[in-house]
Structure 1
Amino acid sequence: MRFFNNKPPKRRRAAGAALLAALALAAGPAPSAAIGGEGAAEPKAVTTAVPFDDSEDGGGFRKVAETTALKLFYNEEEDVLRVDDKAADVSWSSRTDWTGYGLEEPNPMQNSFTGSMLSLTFTDVVANEGKLTKVYSALEDNTRTVEAMDNGIAVNYDFSLLHIQLTLEITLDDEGLCLRLPQDKITEGERNLLMAVELLPGFASSNNQDTGYILYPDGCGALLKYENAAYRPNGASSVSLGVYGAYGADIEDYFQSTGLLGNLEPPQPYTAALPLFGVRKNGNGFLAYVSEGAAQSKINLSPQGNSTPFNTAAFELQYRDTFEMILSSISAGSSADVQKGTKVDKVRMAQDYEVHYAFLAGQDSTYSGMARHYRQYLLDNGLLNQAASAEAPLALDLFCGITEDRMLMDHFVKATTFRQSEEILQSLLDKGVTSQQVTLKGWAKGGYTRFTSQWPAEGSLGGSSGLKSLHAFAGENGLSLFVQNTPLLANSADGGFSVRREAVYTANTLPFTDEENELYLLHPAAVSERLSTLANKLPEGIGISSEGIGRTVYANYREASFSMREGTARQWADALSALKQGGRSVASEYGNQYTLAYSDRLYNVPIETSQTSLSDETVPFYQMVVHGSIPYTANAGNLFYDEDLQKLQWIEFGCLPYYELTYERASVLKYTAYNQLYTSYYGDWVGKAAAVWQEFNTRLAGTWDSAMTEHERLSADVVKVSYESGKTVYINYGSSPAAADGQSIPAMDYVVV
């Protein structure tokens, strides 16, 4: 059996009292003084009810479960988990072997970072509420009992000084290793409240002595390469990636991070549309993903040299949020002294968590192999819709109109009427573009940014009769028509909504709004009702494209419509499901996983990352999961600085050709809130769009309804993309011709074989 370098070291087993003494010398004050506990408890012996099999392994490890592919071992005294992958002949351990890397034996604090089964984040509501403290199971005094389960064990942790108890269930199943944190097994005292749990923080440990990378879902997908440790800035920061959306309570920052206001620049940083990360290490690896409670989780990534000599990745599972409260406000003349404090939820989220680790060998452990595995997982569980067709449609957004704010009287600016939309579509049909997915933006009363206006259609654009005529024209010509709305937002200036009944309320009992009390975020039930109302009024057959629903989740603390992030994700999924059941086509922005079972098209799908110091390479991981099932678009071709480069990126990432156009010239929008369309006049672009569409459906035929099975960077300029259909695409971004696999690829061009 060959061990990876994170195998558990064979070390002397310290008795409880001796270990406490060693920790006291190494770490200073006793734990009870450091954490403000409710009274110290005497350490108890570790007990077990498991009929361990001592015959399988020595060194304190006993086999507790086995499948055809894996063996699960547990070291009861030292609280260490080990998984043996039979096919790959490697082992993975929850404790990193520092000496195996030629490093000195770590002190207890260092060992806790890379040798714990879990860490707890808590706050002491008596001494310093809102200050978050993290403790590790390998360092903090805790009592453990172990119970037998079907194909595994349950380890009961009692952090006695904190008065926090929880149970970690560890089993093997068809997918691999499964860890569960049942919420009904968590107990707390009144002083120290559980905020979060991080699972297996050292399981993915690696450094530049290893070969490989950590894959994490920043944007389309990013790789942290072990070999690049020397090139990172000193003290490179760790990254905590929110799954399905940003965490935070500042509405301006929230809108910027989610892009809900249609910002020209892509929102930064990106959040994780898929609840996973992957590790490839010395030719083998694993894919970890949250199968229950994903919306309440974060992905923590720490580079070598940040806290330890290792790269690490782990899931952090949230149980409470923090929020700001105004503690006092004293005004004197024109100045005011406002004292704010951080508070935490007193009620813990009633959330079970489940995390899987699927072990992959050889080429199956590359990021392409991880994508293939996760795609199959989604398909097997009915989580990925099948909406792709053999022919790639041209994706076209038509910007219709927007209200321009003026000093005396606001003015509605028409960019594209419904009748003019027909002219644009006809001009594309005349050029042979027979497959089009068309989305109308700013079509409803008041136009774009009039968020509460879901119906009727704007009269000056042609009204409801004009919309019906456009829909009939699209249907007669086999074109798909969608209307876009932003149901998550409301503007107080527009009216048509109730702050008390429909707005999101934060944990401090205040509505989620900006400083001017103009923009409001709406709670999930209100959003679902608005979508239902729109669906009931739209002519049959028109699809619905909703900004925000596929990009973000959030909590609502108003008692009558209470919902945590996980509940919001479920309500978003239910709302999209209702649209599908009502016969509507669904387009989802960004494509968070909960939308994939119901979406017929995805848009604003990122083809880049947040470009942190940990992102060594950008890869189309997300696209590899969904390609061949759901068509998607990224950046508009008419808004990119280099048309040729944009086309090659579309090809590499498997994107539909996409343009956002207007009938009028873009200058009419110059003084509106939607002035990013600096070049959108259809007369300038329909010819180019038609040519790209024709090219994509001839040269790239056989790829659009096929899974993307492999992505390889062959050199700095050359990329190879393989499809399940047998097609392979070689893309050359360089300014000179290139050769690969016997293929000659012209400069800034591609070859399909």
Structure 2
Amino acid sequence: MKNRKLPAAVLACAAVLCVLAAAVLYFSSRGAEAVEASAYMEVTAELEAGSELAALPDSTGGVPGMILAADDAELSLYYNAETTEIAVKDKRTGQIWYSNPEGRNEDTLASGFEKELLSSQLTVLFRDAVGTLESYTNFAQSISSKQFTAESLKNGLRITYTIGDTSAGIDALPRYISQARLEEKVLSKLDASTAKYVATRYYPKEGSPDIMERIDAQVSKPLVLKKMTAAFVLAGYSAEDLAQDNAENGIGGGSGTSKPNFVVPLEYRLEEGSLVVTVPVNQVKESGQYQIRSLELLNMFGAADRLTDGYMLVPDGSGSLIRLNNGKVKEEQYVQRVYGPDPNDNSYRRGQVSQNARMPVFGMKAGDGAWFAVIEKGDAIASIAADISGKKNSYNFIHSSYSLRGEDELELYTGATIQEIQLLSEEIYKGDIQVRYSFLSGDKASYSGMAELYRDKLVAEKALTPLAEEQSIPFYLDMLGAVDKQKSLLGVPYRSEISMTSFRQAALIAGQLKQDGIGRLLMRYTGWSGKGVNHSTPDKLKTESVLGSRSELTALRDQLAQDGGTLFPDVAFQQIYHNDGGFTPSSDAARFVTREEAQLYPYNRALNRMDMTLGGYYLLSPAKLPYYVDSFMDKYAGFGMEGVSLRDLGNVLSSDFRASRVIQRETAKAIVMEQLDRISQDVDQTMVSGGNAYAWPYADHLIHVPESSSGFALTDETVPFYQMVVHGFISYTGAPVNLSDEQDMHTQLLHSIELGSAPYFSWSYEPSSKLKFTHFDSMYATSYLDWYEQAVSMYKEVNEVLSPVQHAQIVNHTRHQEGVVEVQYSNGISIYVNYTGKDVSVQGIAVGAGQYVIEGEPS
């Protein structure tokens, strides 16, 4: 009996183990808890009720050919009932801004599609079932055929466009019709020639010779269809006749094919001296198999002709200007996605060397006036495009477009041949698109005036708050902690962490800086937690043992605080470097449109592609972000830190195209902002890398902010627009001096003074040579001993210049000549910077070669 019981016991134990294993597998496959993404999307469920459009009384003479549709204290909105174009009149100056160029019909350069664009307010780009991309303009496919309605709104109007062919087309003709009815209803009522033409486009149906079948291969041709339709109309063939023939032949109507047509409402409102333009995308309707990829909005608003002087402002990097009519007709147009490319997008995986557009703004100075646009809704799915005259038409123009669906390429391999198929995500963005256009004149009609307008808007919204008073500017210091490196044991390779700067060594450097007069040291410690810089999942928080003990980290924190500085341990939330039990790729990673898990690799500039040898990471699904932030913050509270460095929350914005949970970038932005708010409530100071505009309300310090533009061929000049908006509200700095492409320290000093940017270095206690054969060998110059004296000297000089203005706003930035700039602050101080090798005189002020001059006294 005992021998019989033993196998039974073994089987029972095995069964229990199988159940436990299945349970572990089930719960691990579920991954982290996800939030309900729909709770983060603002959707227009119902449109504002409109009324019959009627002209308002206008005593100003108005705009020829237009009616006054709305009016407020500063602006008048006019509307052309034939072309649906609008015009905005600035009552303060009398200047009129048009949605479409006045003289477009006389443009001899534009032809075909470009002519349509000049008269359009909307362009719809869509794909059919096989992925073919097409574009419709509301002029050619709606206005010209009167397929629109207009109605009044409170202080505005709404125009609803039906864009596309709404006619029955070939389905206006019966696919099947009895021979007797064809003769009776059509042929007998036509002349002989026309009757023969119609009869030869039908032939007896196979198996039913008394039934005539339409020859679609011929009738579908546009000219043939036009003649056939005219013949049936001439014969008096009615809709009732068509319905009867369809019913008798059991097809229920037509060929069953659909045509691309879309219903798009476009709203204009006057609000607080601005024109607010809205597309409530939830009310957009598509037809059949045709899916909208993107919308282009007001391509030609405020377009400037060939005789106008001025420039366009684009948000490339710190800001960039495109001079009107600059003659660069062979260069590609400027196009850039707001907040940078989506890491979940194919273009990101192909890589590009450029600055990101970190602000949802654009504008134009034309003559004595200017207009400035802020994308208030839909900014995370927006792109900015600009081009000059002389290429496709005679106008300079800048506008925004919106990706309503995710797009990717699926590669199919057939032997040595690769075929690319374009895929769109099924789910469309359902939030609003909203752009606010404001108007400037006189001295304010400049990029400085635009920066002031944007800054004032953010201050009014409490997105920017003034800096607290400090005696000195910060000294930003990246301290490189642990990195992983390949080692070998008995010839077997493995990876483990090495220390570049231990906690004690970081304290030694901080103490040395304090002795040399740098007290306000803001130390960003990267690689401080488990597994180094590319750390464990945030919910597995612990210190990296090769750097020292937790008590040594606490001692570093206390030392910095006592000396007037702050420690900012660094963490990445959206880039997951390890599948270490705290992360399950199948459930926690974002998905590409192709449904693959979003696994990416660093971009290798030398290879112009992603490089798998540099170590990969997964993109976290935005739906899982709150879980990891909560888990991290619960553990982080035990460290008692006053600061935290956020590596990617202000720098990376990713969508997720998981079939069961599509999250557009706009929804992802709302989730990220909620987490930034949660962190800023729990930690005294937050340091944000990259500094996308949506992170500004939650950031105390910005690092790696753009200090230049991408230098696109179409652009002409880099401007510090970014700095002009945030200076005096958020402390900021650019890239580390010792890792910059510009290695002339004096040039970097001048640049720091011009931009109002605090010095920033990236150091390690150990020599940089230890980084060879790691994923971090690009950090080739981190040894602090090589930079220490230069850094201290640079900080002291920059601090002397910038500390009196660190709480002031930059009210004007002027480039007097190439290499000579003037920066004016709101407290009365002006700084002149001369990058050239020659002495110059600016407004009677002498500035030596490679020098700067400070004028004025702080008020």
SS in 2 for 1:596: helix
Among 66, 70, 73, the residue aligned to 2:71: 66
Describe the shift of the 1:669–1:358 C-alpha distance in structure 2 as closer, same or farther (beyond 3 A).
same
Equivalent AA in structure 2 for residue 243 of structure 1: V
SS in 2 for 1:309: coil
Equivalent AA in structure 2 for residue 254 of structure 1: Y
- Percent of matched pairs sharing the same residue: 27
Describe the shift of the 1:379–1:317 C-alpha distance in structure 2 as closer, same or farther (beyond 3 A).
same
Check the 8 A contact 1:88/1:284 in 2, yes or no: no
Describe the shift of the 1:658–1:577 C-alpha distance in structure 2 as closer, same or farther (beyond 3 A).
same
Describe the shift of the 1:58–1:578 C-alpha distance in structure 2 as closer, same or farther (beyond 3 A).
closer
Q: How does 1:457-536 map to 2 (within 5 A)?
A: 457-492=543-578, 496-514=582-600, 519-536=617-634
Once the two structures are superposed, residues 617-646 of structure 1 have per-residue CA deviations (whole angstroms, 9 ceiling, x without a partner) of 000001101111001111212234110001
SS in 2 for 1:550: coil
Deviates more, 1:373-382 or 1:111-120: 111-120
- Determine whether 1:663 maps to 2:739: no
Structure 1 Cα separation of the partners of residues 495 and 280 of structure 2? 55
SS in 1 for 2:141: coil
Check the 8 A contact 2:75/2:273 in 1, yes or no: no
Describe the shift of the 1:451–1:315 C-alpha distance in structure 2 as closer, same or farther (beyond 3 A).
farther
Structure 1 Cα separation of the partners of residues 272 and 432 of structure 2? 20
- Aligned counterpart, 2:140: 139
Question: How many angstroms does 1:106 deviate by?
Answer: 5.6
Check the 8 A contact 2:316/2:336 in 1, yes or no: yes
Structure 2 Cα separation of the partners of residues 733 and 105 of structure 1? 41
TM-score by length of structure 2 reads 0.76
Among 296, 300, 303, the residue aligned to 1:198: 296
Among 107, 116, 123, the residue aligned to 1:112: 116
Check the 8 A contact 1:388/1:704 in 2, yes or no: no
Structure 2 Cα separation of the partners of residues 307 and 451 of structure 1? 52
Describe the shift of the 1:216–1:553 C-alpha distance in structure 2 as closer, same or farther (beyond 3 A).
same
- Determine whether 1:370 maps to 2:450: yes
- Determine whether 1:254 maps to 2:348: yes
Name structure 2 gaps, 5 residues minimum. Answer: 1-49, 166-259, 602-611
- Aligned counterpart, 2:334: 239
SS in 2 for 1:350: coil
Describe the shift of the 1:255–1:471 C-alpha distance in structure 2 as closer, same or farther (beyond 3 A).
farther
Check the 8 A contact 1:437/1:479 in 2, yes or no: yes
Question: How many angstroms does 1:521 deviate by?
Answer: 0.9
Number of corresponding residues: 685
Structure 1 Cα separation of the partners of residues 520 and 722 of structure 2? 25
SS in 2 for 1:472: helix
Question: How many angstroms does 1:255 deviate by?
Answer: 6.3
Structure with greater proportional helix content? 2
- Aligned counterpart, 1:149: 153
Structure 2 Cα separation of the partners of residues 672 and 583 of structure 1? 33
- Aligned counterpart, 2:84: 79
Check the 8 A contact 1:385/1:596 in 2, yes or no: no
Question: How many angstroms does 1:739 deviate by?
Answer: 1.5
Question: How many angstroms does 1:451 deviate by?
Answer: 5.0
Structure 2 Cα separation of the partners of residues 677 and 580 of structure 1? 30
Among 587, 595, 602, the residue aligned to 2:702: 602
- Aligned counterpart, 1:8: none
- Determine whether 1:219 maps to 2:219: no
- Aligned counterpart, 1:360: 440
Q: How does 1:260-659 map to 2 (within 5 A)?
A: 268-325=353-410, 339-387=419-467, 389-390=469-470, 391-406=472-487, 408-452=493-537, 455-492=541-578, 496-514=582-600, 519-538=617-636, 539-558=639-658, 562-640=662-740, 641-659=743-761
Structure 2 Cα separation of the partners of residues 561 and 424 of structure 1? 48
Q: How does 1:45-64 map to 2 (within 5 A)?
A: 49-53=52-56, 55=58, 56-57=61-62, 59-64=64-69
Question: How many angstroms does 1:611 deviate by?
Answer: 1.1
- Aligned counterpart, 1:24: none
Describe the shift of the 1:669–1:388 C-alpha distance in structure 2 as closer, same or farther (beyond 3 A).
farther
SS in 2 for 1:581: helix
Larger of the two Rg values belongs to structure? 2
- Aligned counterpart, 2:240: none
SS in 1 for 2:802: coil
Describe the shift of the 1:732–1:160 C-alpha distance in structure 2 as closer, same or farther (beyond 3 A).
closer
Check the 8 A contact 2:109/2:392 in 1, yes or no: no
Structure 1 Cα separation of the partners of residues 841 and 356 of structure 2? 36
Once the two structures are superposed, residues 450-481 of structure 1 have per-residue CA deviations (whole angstroms, 9 ceiling, x without a partner) of 35365211111013222112112112222111
Equivalent AA in structure 2 for residue 403 of structure 1: D
Structure 2 Cα separation of the partners of residues 696 and 518 of structure 1? 38
Check the 8 A contact 1:451/1:486 in 2, yes or no: no
- Aligned counterpart, 1:159: 163
Equivalent AA in structure 2 for residue 349 of structure 1: Y
Describe the shift of the 1:655–1:491 C-alpha distance in structure 2 as closer, same or farther (beyond 3 A).
same
Structure 2 Cα separation of the partners of residues 531 and 392 of structure 1? 30
Check the 8 A contact 1:590/1:604 in 2, yes or no: yes
Describe the shift of the 1:372–1:478 C-alpha distance in structure 2 as closer, same or farther (beyond 3 A).
same
Structure 1 Cα separation of the partners of residues 641 and 533 of structure 2? 22
Q: CA RMSD in A?
A: 2.4
Structure 1 Cα separation of the partners of residues 309 and 277 of structure 2? 27
SS in 1 for 2:751: helix
Structure 2 Cα separation of the partners of residues 244 and 289 of structure 1? 14
Q: How does 1:23-42 map to 2 (within 5 A)?
A: none
Question: How many angstroms does 1:533 deviate by?
Answer: 2.4
Question: How many angstroms does 1:548 deviate by?
Answer: 2.2
Deviates more, 1:525-534 or 1:738-747: 525-534
Describe the shift of the 1:688–1:219 C-alpha distance in structure 2 as closer, same or farther (beyond 3 A).
same
Question: How many angstroms does 1:163 deviate by?
Answer: 2.6
Structure 2 Cα separation of the partners of residues 710 and 447 of structure 1? 43
Describe the shift of the 1:99–1:583 C-alpha distance in structure 2 as closer, same or farther (beyond 3 A).
closer
Question: How many angstroms does 1:151 deviate by?
Answer: 0.7
Check the 8 A contact 2:142/2:161 in 1, yes or no: no
Name structure 1 gaps, 5 residues minimum. Answer: 1-46, 258-266
Equivalent AA in structure 1 for residue 316 of structure 2: D
Check the 8 A contact 1:208/1:228 in 2, yes or no: no
Question: How many angstroms does 1:237 deviate by?
Answer: 1.1
Describe the shift of the 1:225–1:340 C-alpha distance in structure 2 as closer, same or farther (beyond 3 A).
closer
- Determine whether 1:676 maps to 2:778: yes
Question: How many angstroms does 1:711 deviate by?
Answer: 0.4
Question: How many angstroms does 1:550 deviate by?
Answer: 1.1
Structure 2 Cα separation of the partners of residues 353 and 583 of structure 1? 34
Question: How many angstroms does 1:337 deviate by?
Answer: 5.9
Equivalent AA in structure 2 for residue 404 of structure 1: K
Deviates more, 1:282-291 or 1:157-166: 157-166
Check the 8 A contact 1:413/1:669 in 2, yes or no: no
SS in 2 for 1:481: strand
Equivalent AA in structure 1 for residue 271 of structure 2: D
Equivalent AA in structure 2 for residue 384 of structure 1: L
Question: How many angstroms does 1:681 deviate by?
Answer: 2.4
Question: How many angstroms does 1:340 deviate by?
Answer: 4.2
Structure 1 Cα separation of the partners of residues 805 and 349 of structure 2? 36
Check the 8 A contact 2:590/2:658 in 1, yes or no: yes
Structure 1 Cα separation of the partners of residues 140 and 693 of structure 2? 36
SS in 1 for 2:340: coil
Check the 8 A contact 2:142/2:148 in 1, yes or no: no
Equivalent AA in structure 1 for residue 340 of structure 2: G
